[in-house]
């Protein structure tokens, strides 16, 4: 599949969403890593090489915006601060998307996730 060999981290606190993304992306050939909030994501990045992050925006403990800010400021362990990050969010309004992208994300996929949109966003982000 188009995700063959990609190391994808899914940062999502909703079990159903997380399960759906994991099932779909593993069928596409991706290696998956999971975190339930931004803090767990940052811990995982300390010594795990990741190619791309799918970042939920609203999460307990540390939300997606804060986690992205920290990754962009260099708190991403062995990964570069330019690590591709795609926002996955129910915030679908245009101005909200722009606000999220302005926060350092490389792409935006609205919930409920359409698989073709997700694949397209991943492909664009990793080939930047």
- Tell me the per-residue pLDDT of 61-106, one tens digit each, with 9 for 90 and over: 999 999 999 999 999 999 999 999 999 998 767 888 888 888 899 9
pLDDT (0 to 100) of residue 19: 97
Angle between helices 38-45 and 64-72 in degrees, nearest 10: 30
Q: State the pTM of this model.
A: 0.95
Going by pLDDT thresholds of 50, 70 and 90, the confidence category of residue 128 is confident
Q: How far is CA 81 from the centre of its chain?
A: 14
Q: Over 80: is that where the pLDDT of 2 sits? A: no
Residue 18 exposure: Cα atoms within 13 Å on the Cβ side = 16
pLDDT (0 to 100) of residue 107: 93
Residue 90 CA: distances (Å) to CA of 3, 38, 110, 124, 126: 23, 17, 6, 21, 23
- Tell me the per-residue pLDDT of 7-42, one tens digit each, with 9 for 90 and over: 999 999 999 999 999 999 999 999 999 999 999 999
Going by pLDDT thresholds of 50, 70 and 90, the confidence category of residue 121 is very high
């Amino acid at each position: 599949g188009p995700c063959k060999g990609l190391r994808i981290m899914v940062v999502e606190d909703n079990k159903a969403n997380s399960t759906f993304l994991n099932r779909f992306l593993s069928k596409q050939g991706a290696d998956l890593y999971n975190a339930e909030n931004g803090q767990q994501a940052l811990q995982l990045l300390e010594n795990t090489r990741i190619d791309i992050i799918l970042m939920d925006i609203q999460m307990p403990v540390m939300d997606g915006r804060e986690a992205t800010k920290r990754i962009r400021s260099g708190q991403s362990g062995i990964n570069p601060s330019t690590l591709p990050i795609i926002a996955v969010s129910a915030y679908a309004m245009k101005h909200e998307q722009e606000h999220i992208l302005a926060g350092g994300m490389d792409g935006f996929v609205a919930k409920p996730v359409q698989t073709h949109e997700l694949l397209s966003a991943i492909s664009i982000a990793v080939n930047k």
